[in-house]
Amino acid sequence: MVYLTFDDGPHPVYTPLLLDVLSRYGVRATFFVIGARAERYPDVIQRIVSEGHTLANHTWSHEDLATLTRAEFDETVGRTQDLLGDHAAPCIRPPYGSTNEFTEGWAAAHGLRVVLWTASANAWAGLAAPTVAGRLLEGITDGSIVLMHPNAETVQAVEIVLDRLSGRGIKYEPVCEMAEPSLPPVLPG
């Protein structure tokens, strides 16, 4: 089982392209969306949901949760949850993976579980698609939660990775489902 996740969207161009690739391979994923971007691109949000993927909270405007007061935390997380409504899965991914001693408890007060990642291609760092794909292929193991971002390199890399791994019996599911099982937070590493 591998869990593909995409942060910082929805992007009006790259998220639909990623959805096209995921559809070709019958793969479902979790999209950790920024509330302000979700508000701006409701058609992309609707497509994510209609194609069987899950939506999860990535704050309203990509705030560093470890630096926020409780009121600021509640505002950014609550506003995003309200926007996503019934489509929101019970998970949150802190931007930058940044947490403090309050993050899990404050998230739990919103009914959310903190989900980080176990593998990342760092595609946001301007790496070429073959490099991104190579990093993904090296980092993916059973149970991996893979962090990616919607950009041109990621679209190409996901196509390469899914093509190379097809036929190997790997299942891809969203890490955050609507009826969430009782799982501990996942830490990067």
- pLDDT tens-place values along the chain, 189 residues long: 999 999 999 999 999 999 999 999 999 999 999 999 999 999 999 999 999 999 999 999 999 999 999 999 999 999 999 999 999 999 999 999 999 999 999 999 999 999 999 998 776 667 899 999 999 999 899 999 999 999 999 999 999 999 999 989 999 999 987 644 444 444 444
The predicted structure's pLDDT at residue 177: 78
Q: Is 93 exposed, middle or buried (0-12, 13-18, 19+ CB in 10 A)?
A: buried
Q: Which residues are catalytic?
A: 7, 149
Tokens 């971007």 belong to residue: 37
Distance CA 31, CA 189 (A): 20
Q: Which of 115, 19, 101, 29 is nearest to 66 (CA)?
A: 101
Query: Which domains occur in the chain, in start order?
Result: 3-165 (3.20.20.370)
Report yes or no: 131 and 100 within 8 Å, Cβ to Cβ. no
